[in-house]
Structure 1
Amino acid sequence: MDRLLPYARWRKGQREIAETIYNVVKDGKILLLGYPTGAGKTIAALIGTYTAKSKNHKIFFLARTKNQVQAPLREISKIEKRKKICIPTVVLQNKKEMCPLAIAKRLSYDEFLRYCDSLVKLDLCEYYLNLKERKNILENGYNPEPSKFVRKFAKLGVCPYEIAKMLTSKVEIVIGSYVYIFSSEIRYRLQSSTGLKLEDLILIIDEAHNLPEIIADMQSIKLYKYQVKLAQREARKFLFGEFAEEILASLSNLYSYILTIERKSGGGDYLIDTSEFLSVMPGLSQLKKAVSIIEKNMVESGILAPSNISRILNLLRAIQSSTYGFVLYSTTTPEGFMIKYQCVDPSITAREVFSRVHAAVLMSGTLQPKDYLISMLALERGRVIEHRVHADFSKQVKLVVHSGISSRYVERSEENFRRIAKIIAILFEKFNNGVMLAVFPSYDFMKKVNVFLPTKTRLYTFIEREDTRLSEVVEFIKERVKSLVLAAAWGKLIEGIELRNGLSLIKSVVIAGLPVPEPSLVNIKREELLTARFLDEEKAWRFTYIIPAVIRVLQAIGRAVRTERDRAFVVILDHRLLEKDAKSLVEIHGYKVRSVDNLRQILEEMSSFSLR
């Protein structure tokens, strides 16, 4: 392994990670890898898997976002340049992002797929047609960095997306998003066109703490009330005769049923009886025929957007194909009233993958406990190995928990909001410079606390919205010596905010309440399923509510501590973090938890930490 390291030496614990991964791959196991920020897990994972794999095995590095794709690419490039070896690699992006046609940028993703499909079927895409003529195109050298890859093959006059797929069967490392493996439909299409077999894959899954929820969301289907109305318009415009009348009658019944549900629900979450819903849906064969006729006519009319009636068909197929592990309910969103078929048990899909792959490495700086991941991802206990790089952040992070405050639903009151606002305002007043990040259980909770912040504090305060962009935060803090950023624990900023100028600009984090998920219909259903699985109500409750909440707390703290040189003062305003399960999960990630009884003690801890 040493021969592949592109650096002067291994970081502390880094070679141990690589050796553990090497053994996991050789033995065909599944590794749960917990590591602190800055442990250098990407290069260790790549070296460990690459040196252990056989000729028949392929490494598939799964990243959650486009930005996260860059990390493995950088490390592979360094190995190749400094060690003078070639590691064939390809990055799979979605078809729209890899298309060289100018029109691709102006279309929505769904519109582009329809447009692309039409061009290919009608032999109108030169980039696709050229693939047949240029049989030796794969012999060309290339840079796997996505933008350079697209430019290279677009200049050669061939479809970059199809080239990437062709290369998938030839390279040693494939990099792509979770959907290529965990979306059954997309995986099947990829396997059909490339010959890939799950049994030959070694998965490296980055930021694996996200995997259970991402898989659940991939399997979920939604249908808006307005889309049913639009489907009726499509039927009137593109269908004719007796069949048109049949479809319109069926759609009318469905729309009336949705209106009834909307009235009953009052706009809130409302559990729908699956059998009752299916009884008012159009029939499967009827919908298939309608979609085929309507979409053919739409394309001929120059309409590229997918039909709304196809969305009804997709929902019907989902409900008919699987009933266990899902909940059918209605809710109201900013886009309108909708019906959603939500997956609450990602283990169904995950089992298909993890039971077949040769080996897998699930890695994250905020990895859930072993039992949680085994249950939520249907991992075979006998194959699972857990390895946590034990960090000690006690010199970098002082973490105190106020034992006299809670954000439990039954304790939320104006007095409680005032008290939290007062603590945040006083802490910020004593704060010298940089960014103080205050994290709340929800947007609503945040707004109620913000009302009671003093006017002078609000002058320095940035409040996250659901559509906030990171660039807005950066501009705000640039103009101030110190800033207070209010963010929701389940919002985008906690997942992606990185404010640095050499060192982290976030010097303090205030967790204004443990972000326990709301007892929604989805979470209640998940808790019921887990209770039936474990025959243990307390364990099911902990898996549904406490573990996800603590992982969010750890992610928030991680926004401040990105390197060994970063330091941060962390205050948690919720005594529930002192309870055994929550506290132990924080401590295994390297933080020492201190309990304080009042604001004066918090200020003393803050002062002593700052003066070191």
Structure 2
Amino acid sequence: MTARREVDLDKLLPYPRWRKGQYELAEFIYSNLGEGRTLLIEAPTGFGKTIPTLIAAFKKGVEEEKDIIYLVRTKNEAQAPFTELTNLRAKVGVDIWFSVFQNKRDVCAFKEFRILDYEEFLLRCKMFRDRGICRFFPEDCEKIYSKVAELFFNSRSLEEAYDKILSNGICPYEAMRCLSRDSNVIIGTYPYIFKEDIRKVFLHSINKRLEDSILIVDEAHNLPEYLMNTFSFRLSVFDLKMASREASKFMSREISREFISLMNLLEKWIKSLASTMNNEIKIVRNFGELIVFADDISRFRSEVNAAYLRYIARRNTGRSYLLYVYRCLSNVLKTRMQGYILYVSKTPVTALVYQCINPSVRVGKIFSKPWSVILMSGTLPLREYLELMLGLRRESTVEYRVEGRVKEATEIFVAKDVTTKFEERSEHMFEKYADYIYNISRLARNIVLVVAPSYNLLRKLLKLLLLRGLKTVIIERENTRIEGIVRKIKGLRRRGAETIVLLAVAGGKLTEGIEIVEDSKSLINTVVIVGVPYPEPSPLTEEMIKEMNKLTRDPRKAWESVFEAPATIKILQAIGRSLRSKRDKATIFLLDRRFIERDTLKNLVEQMNEDYNIITLEDFKGYQ
């Protein structure tokens, strides 16, 4: 192992000086780590929270002989800690080793495997390794260790490092596993720790224990929603039919007959529930039948695994529906409906949905294991919300919030004559919104980011804006890629466009990850929030409120956990797209009267800038 010794915070800084507030943050983290504590850290974009967090955690880790496990949501977000750790390594006297684990499937040399479900990919990968089929799998880490270290630590970016490793005939994941034996810091995406099956295998393979680690979770504002989506599943009638078809091909006649009979009964039950639906979804309150189905399918475990091996042997590269259905129903037995609701949906096809609404049931134990935990973000939710959704222990949770730059960097306007409140939506209201956006775009320069609660509303606005003659407008769609949007924006600017309107959905890819920077300044200098991005009122949200009410025994907390907290995060994330550095200034338009009518939203506005302006559409008449 790498030699461990005491180091100073100042001596670890790989830059000439600390930015304002960074040293104080590093001191707070260093002083509070340990004894099972969870640290909640909020610092605004441009503050530079990654380096003080890593320095403080590394110093404490060296002294206490603890490793660091640093989690990011996406592979792109791993670049920031990679850069800072590379800089730390370059500093004389700092002996720090690290490895970065991206999604194993996404870096697989066999590109046809990248379309598989992750759990299925892992099975396929293991089979290739065990049978000696994968030529990229290194049999002996010792033989490749020096080569991997040379390639990895002499790369300027993760992409470059992984490309170099793969071009040398080595699996990037296995290369990182070899490197991890001497690593003080392990960087990985969320699933490596938050998916139970993956976590056990991963930690064993790199010889690390959560109990001996400092766990850092970056962009933690995303964590509750990510976990809810991860722990949920959707089982369609089509999935059941395809599973039956696979069973008839890859199981023995007697076993397949039993399995197909079970699939038919499950399909019949789902269809009977759907036949009585009056809305888009139907809440299922009797969980007993689903648990019976889950118990029944558990009998087929060995047969399903054997059938899957036959499926692979036939050189099938697509998803195995048989395995997918088995895994979905097995998940029910793990939770027994705690923290879940069950419903049937007909959109886009008839399906049974097992929806996680409180992931603390699944992850509370994870957060109680590490030596210490750091949850950090530029827009961290309230402490009470994180304690509720993640199962954090109140007595061992401390927080440090750096005051944001929104007040000094923004001018805020709140419209009192529009709302996206469900019962007040109308064509006339949508026309007013389009007029607001059109008038704002005529006054603005560079990029106007318009954020709406849903894709449906985005499409309505696009149509109305085009009718008003607005030509330089780009819309985010469900399958949009950020790189494609960036190319379109650059193309329009090359052709002389002074103002570009970018229509985005709240909580979507663009509000979470797009950066358009020129001369170190964000080109997004106007943000328009269309309405409040609450979930649509539905039987599902009603049921979520009921279940959270039972859990919290507090109607206010139940409402906040389902509606207020997620909406607030989405609003702040969207505004944050315009404030990427200390030089950025932005104008923010909050187009919904609820921003001055509801206490929680009004408090949010006042926290950003108490000197906000109240406007109506009439105020733009003088500029037309």
Normalising by the residue count of structure 1, what TM-score does the alignment of the two structures yield? 0.91
Give, in whole Å, the separation in 1 of the partners of 2:112 and 2:322. Answer: 25
Give, in whole Å, the separation in 2 of the partners of 1:166 and 1:554. Answer: 40
Matches within 5 A, 1:180-199: 180-199=192-211
Matches within 5 A, 1:69-468: 69-100=78-109, 112-128=121-137, 130-132=138-140, 135=142, 137-138=144-145, 141-142=149-150, 143=152, 146-147=158-159, 149-150=161-162, 159-265=171-277, 268-272=280-284, 273-279=286-292, 283-322=296-335, 323-334=337-348, 336-431=349-444, 433-453=445-465, 455-468=467-480
Q: Which amino acid aligns with 1:331?
A: S
Q: Which amino acid aligns with 1:576?
A: R
* Partner in structure 1 of residue 5 of structure 2: none
Give, in whole Å, the separation in 1 of the partners of 2:599 and 2:92. Answer: 48
Give, in whole Å, the separation in 2 of the partners of 1:425 and 1:559. Answer: 21
CA, structure 1 residues 427+93, in 2 after alignment: closer, same or farther (shift >3 Å)? closer
* Residue 397 of structure 1, CA deviation: 0.6
Give, in whole Å, the separation in 2 of the partners of 1:383 and 1:499. Answer: 40
When structure 1 is superposed on structure 2, of 39-48 and 395-404 the one drifting more is 395-404
**Are the equivalent residues in 1 in contact too, given 2:412–2:609 (CA < 8 A)?**
yes
Q: Which amino acid aligns with 1:488?
A: V
When structure 1 is superposed on structure 2, of 100-109 and 136-145 the one drifting more is 100-109
* Residue 15 of structure 1, CA deviation: 0.7
* Partner in structure 2 of residue 498 of structure 1: 515
Identity of aligned residues (%): 33
* Residue 341 of structure 1, CA deviation: 1.2
Asked if 1:518 is matched to 2:536, the reply is yes
Give, in whole Å, the separation in 2 of the partners of 1:55 and 1:394. Answer: 40
**Are the equivalent residues in 1 in contact too, given 2:36–2:368 (CA < 8 A)?**
no
Deviation digits for residues 131-180 of structure 1, max 9, x if unmatched?
24x64544553425544554565577654423423443431000011111
* Residue 603 of structure 1, CA deviation: 8.2
Deviation digits for residues 178-221 of structure 1, max 9, x if unmatched?
11111111111123333322111112211110011111122112
Give, in whole Å, the separation in 2 of the partners of 1:147 and 1:505. Answer: 26
Give, in whole Å, the separation in 1 of the partners of 2:551 and 2:298. Answer: 36
CA, structure 1 residues 472+152, in 2 after alignment: closer, same or farther (shift >3 Å)? closer
CA, structure 1 residues 258+104, in 2 after alignment: closer, same or farther (shift >3 Å)? closer
* Residue 115 of structure 1, CA deviation: 3.8
* Partner in structure 2 of residue 22 of structure 1: 30
Q: Which amino acid aligns with 1:530?
A: M
**Are the equivalent residues in 1 in contact too, given 2:606–2:612 (CA < 8 A)?**
no
Give, in whole Å, the separation in 1 of the partners of 2:95 and 2:167. Answer: 24
* Residue 103 of structure 1, CA deviation: 6.0
Q: Which amino acid aligns with 2:601?
A: A
CA, structure 1 residues 401+291, in 2 after alignment: closer, same or farther (shift >3 Å)? same
Where 1:447 maps in the other structure, the secondary structure is helix
* Two-structure CA RMSD over aligned residues (Å): 2.7
* Residue 29 of structure 1, CA deviation: 2.1
CA, structure 1 residues 73+587, in 2 after alignment: closer, same or farther (shift >3 Å)? farther
Give, in whole Å, the separation in 2 of the partners of 1:112 and 1:269. Answer: 32
Which of these residues, 67, 91, 100, is aligned with residue 76 of structure 2?
Answer: 67
Give, in whole Å, the separation in 2 of the partners of 1:293 and 1:62. Answer: 34
CA, structure 1 residues 234+199, in 2 after alignment: closer, same or farther (shift >3 Å)? same
* Residue 572 of structure 1, CA deviation: 0.6
Give, in whole Å, the separation in 1 of the partners of 2:144 and 2:589. Answer: 58
Give, in whole Å, the separation in 1 of the partners of 2:217 and 2:507. Answer: 22
Q: Which amino acid aligns with 1:66?
A: K
Give, in whole Å, the separation in 2 of the partners of 1:184 and 1:37. Answer: 32
Where 2:275 maps in the other structure, the secondary structure is helix
**Are the equivalent residues in 1 in contact too, given 2:69–2:186 (CA < 8 A)?**
yes
Where 1:131 maps in the other structure, the secondary structure is coil
**Are the equivalent residues in 1 in contact too, given 2:506–2:574 (CA < 8 A)?**
yes
* Residue 88 of structure 1, CA deviation: 0.5
Deviation digits for residues 520-564 of structure 1, max 9, x if unmatched?
455334322332233221221122101211211111111111111
CA, structure 1 residues 301+569, in 2 after alignment: closer, same or farther (shift >3 Å)? same
* Residue 22 of structure 1, CA deviation: 0.6
Give, in whole Å, the separation in 1 of the partners of 2:161 and 2:421. Answer: 51
When structure 1 is superposed on structure 2, of 486-495 and 174-183 the one drifting more is 486-495
CA, structure 1 residues 251+488, in 2 after alignment: closer, same or farther (shift >3 Å)? same
Deviation digits for residues 465-507 of structure 1, max 9, x if unmatched?
1112223433144242211122221322111221222221112
Q: Which amino acid aligns with 1:498?
A: E
**Equivalent pairs, count:** 601
Give, in whole Å, the separation in 1 of the partners of 2:170 and 2:587. Answer: 54
Q: Which amino acid aligns with 1:329?
A: Y
Which of these residues, 518, 525, 536, is aligned with residue 554 of structure 2?
Answer: 536
* Residue 586 of structure 1, CA deviation: 4.6
* Residue 360 of structure 1, CA deviation: 1.5
Normalising by the residue count of structure 2, what TM-score does the alignment of the two structures yield? 0.89
Give, in whole Å, the separation in 2 of the partners of 1:487 and 1:164. Answer: 36
CA, structure 1 residues 171+115, in 2 after alignment: closer, same or farther (shift >3 Å)? same
CA, structure 1 residues 152+522, in 2 after alignment: closer, same or farther (shift >3 Å)? same
Asked if 1:44 is matched to 2:52, the reply is yes
Where 2:105 maps in the other structure, the secondary structure is helix
Give, in whole Å, the separation in 1 of the partners of 2:256 and 2:34. Answer: 60
Matches within 5 A, 1:483-494: 483-494=500-511
Consecutive unaligned residues of structure 1, counting only runs of 5 or more, are: 608-612
Deviation digits for residues 94-138 of structure 1, max 9, x if unmatched?
33344445765687766754442222222333443x524x64544
Asked if 1:580 is matched to 2:599, the reply is yes
Give, in whole Å, the separation in 2 of the partners of 1:260 and 1:325. Answer: 25
CA, structure 1 residues 49+444, in 2 after alignment: closer, same or farther (shift >3 Å)? same
Where 2:379 maps in the other structure, the secondary structure is coil
CA, structure 1 residues 90+236, in 2 after alignment: closer, same or farther (shift >3 Å)? same
* Partner in structure 2 of residue 563 of structure 1: 581
* Residue 70 of structure 1, CA deviation: 0.6
Where 1:62 maps in the other structure, the secondary structure is strand
Deviation digits for residues 283-310 of structure 1, max 9, x if unmatched?
1344324413422322332224453122
Deviation digits for residues 335-379 of structure 1, max 9, x if unmatched?
x33222111101122211211111111111111111111111111
Consecutive unaligned residues of structure 2, counting only runs of 5 or more, are: 1-8
Where 1:264 maps in the other structure, the secondary structure is coil
